[in-house]
Amino acid sequence: MIRINYCSRTTDQPDFDEVNEIAKTSSARNNECDITGFLVFNQNYFVQTLEGPAKAVNDTYHRIAKDKRHKDIMILSYENDIPKRSFAHWDLAYITLRKVSREIYYPFMTSGDFDPYTLNPNSIMPFMHEMFKGLLENDKEKKAI
Ligand SMILES: Cc1cc2nc3c(=O)[nH]c(=O)nc-3n(C[C@H](O)[C@H](O)[C@H](O)COP(=O)(O)O)c2cc1C
């Protein structure tokens, strides 16, 4: 199994519903291909983790890279032979950065603004895990309402 992290720039400032739509079709496809993943986005950027069998991840990545809904795709990290998945139960989890407080991602950034292109390869997975905690916290809040 391998894991890829990439980031990209959005082409049309997607709102939550548009990403929800991407995630719906992507989840079904990922499920078929034994891929799990996590997508973080805001108006300007996407950051995504894809993990699973090498060929499936590779094929999916190439399909995603051709998608006109984003551009300037850059691989942030590539891990060979991962012992286990980080997002094992998620075909494609996703969260908007708007729901994550600035204090959480600020330590990962070299300047005050969110810019995933500046993420250090060693800090990507810690960053994604922090974002994922944000997702779980949000879910908890929703359930509490
Ligand atoms: C930011 C972003 C993330 C995406 N993530 C996935 C994904 O995890 N899995 C997937 O199959 N497609 C994903 N897609 C959609 C693909 O780009 C593509 O539209 C979809 O796989 C259908 O491809 P096809 O029309 O060539 O069959 C993503 C698209 C974008 C813009």
d(Cα 44, Cα 82) in Å, to the nearest integer?
A: 30
User: 144 CA distance to ligand 1 centroid (A)?
Assistant: 32
129 lines ligand 1 (CB under 6 A): no
3-state secondary structure of 32: helix
d(Cα 127, Cα 58) in Å, to the nearest integer?
A: 22
* DSSP 8-state code for residue 88: T
Atom of ligand 1 nearest to the CA of 66: 17
Per-residue pLDDT in tens (0 to 9) along the chain, 145 residues: 999 999 999 999 998 899 999 999 999 999 999 999 999 999 999 999 999 999 999 999 999 999 999 999 999 999 999 999 999 999 999 999 998 888 899 999 988 789 999 999 999 999 999 999 989 888 777 665 4
Q: Which pLDDT does position 22 carry in this prediction?
A: 95
d(Cα 16, Cα 10) in Å, to the nearest integer?
A: 13
CATH of domain 2-144: 3.30.70.100
User: Which sequence spans correspond to the domains of the chain?
Assistant: 2-144
| Residue 7 φ/ψ, nearest 5 degrees | -130, 165
Q: Which pLDDT does position 142 carry in this prediction?
A: 66
d(Cα 5, Cα 48) in Å, to the nearest integer?
A: 6
pTM of the entire predicted model = 0.94
Best of 15, 18, 19, 26 to mutate for ligand 1, by most ligand atoms within 8 A of CB?
26
Q: How many residues are listed for the chain in this entry? A: 145
3-state secondary structure of 102: helix
30 lines ligand 1 (CB under 6 A): yes
19 lines ligand 1 (CB under 6 A): no
Give, using CA atoms, the residue closest to atom 23 of ligand 1: 63
Best of 22, 61, 73 to mutate for ligand 1, by most ligand atoms within 8 A of CB?
22
12 lines ligand 1 (CB under 6 A): no
- The residue type of 6 is Y
Which tokens sit at 82?
A: 């991962």
